[in-house]
Amino acid sequence: MNHNRDPEKIKGMFDRISPRYDLLNRLISLGLDMSWRKRAVEMIGTVESETVLDLCCGTGDFISVFHKRYQERLNIVALDFSAGMLTAARKRFSEKKYPRLLLGRADAMSLPCRDESIMGVTIGFGIRNVADRPMALREIYRVLKPGGRLVMIEPSQPPGKIMGPLFSFYFKKISPFIGGLIGGDKKAYKYLNDSFVAFPPPDKFLEMMQAARFEKTKAVPQTFGTAMIYYGEKPIRPF
């Protein structure tokens, strides 16, 4: 499938859906996304006093999970290329209330971070939208400290004769319908579903992570396989 991941179009689309993104996210994932995020933060390991990066941060759901777990005992950098999503994130997380949070505009393919400065990177439902995923993975590898971890969540096609078709129907028909009804942008939600179909299967995506030199890579299915948590580490000795 030729799925167009033109960064300008994607940026505009996220700008448009940003005001209602949180509500829709909860509805479409039936509230399960927050439990997946908690698991992802646990998989990042103990990062007290360190700096973590939430990439493609959107409205900042990962910020709240990190903050609940560590309060002010952690620096959080949250980056996204959509101004609309960042505005929504800034409304939720003011710099006054979150003094150790830095919210900024950046493209995942060119990170404004020093080499080996970050202990953990999370991406929630973002990597599938990035135009050049191998380039983003190489950038993440560059900014991670040796021993640092990358954890990503993406929806996934569950196996089985019941869950498989049920999930396809839900993703193809129900979620664009909800997106159109509440978000007023059926096209955007149709795009999000198409981008899911165009995302490589877990074994191929793990190969992409390995090609970017990540080690101990794994794909951990969540909730009957409807989502996948991807994990990889930058080796302590990257030689």
Ligand X SMILES: C[S@@+](CC[C@H](N)C(=O)[O-])C[C@H]1O[C@@H](n2cnc3c(N)ncnc32)[C@H](O)[C@@H]1O
Q: How do 51-55 and 118-124 pair as beta strands? A: parallel
- Give the alpha-carbon dihedral of 100, 127, 14, 51, to 10 degrees: 0
Question: For the chain, how big is the Rg over CA atoms in Å?
Answer: 17
| Least distance in angstroms from the C-beta of 192 to ligand X | 6
**Residue closest to ligand X (Cβ):** 58
The residue among 57 and 101 lying less far from ligand X, judged by its C-beta, is 57
Residue with Cβ nearer ligand X (25 or 193) = 25
Could you tell me which residues are beta bridge partners of residue 218?
231
Element (H, E) at 181: helix 175-183
Which parts of this chain interact with ligand X (CB under 6 A)?
A: 7, 10, 14, 25, 56-58, 61, 80-82, 85, 107-109, 124-126, 129-130
Is 187 or 216 the residue whose CB approaches ligand X more closely?
187
Task: State the nearest-atom distance from the C-beta of 28 to ligand X, in Å.
Answer: 10
* The residue type at 92: R
What are the beta bridge partners of residue 53?
77, 121
The neighbour count for residue 73, using CB atoms within 10 Å, is 12
Closer by beta carbon to ligand X, 10 or else 209? 10
Closest approach of Cβ 13 to ligand X, in Å? 8
Is the Cβ of residue 104 or residue 235 nearer to ligand X in the bound state? 104
Is the distance from CB of 8 to CB of 81 less than 8 angstroms?
no
Q: Which residue has the tokens 């942008």?
A: 185
| Shortest Å, Cβ 176 to ligand X | 14
User: In the complex, what is the shortest distance from the CB of residue 59 to ligand X, in angstroms, rounded to a whole number?
Assistant: 6
Tokens of residue 190, six digits: 């149709």
Which of 125/171 has CB closer to ligand X? 125
Smallest distance, Å, CB 97 to ligand X? Answer: 20
Instruction: For ligand X, give the closer residue by CB, 23 or 236.
Output: 23
Smallest distance, ligand X to C-beta of residue 32, A: 12
Alpha carbon distance 37, 43 (integer Å): 10
Identify the sign of the CA torsion 196, 20, 177, 27: positive
Q: Is beta strand 144-155 parallel, antiparallel or unpaired with respect to 118-124?
A: parallel
Taking alpha carbons only, the member of 203, 182, 196 closest to residue 227 is 196
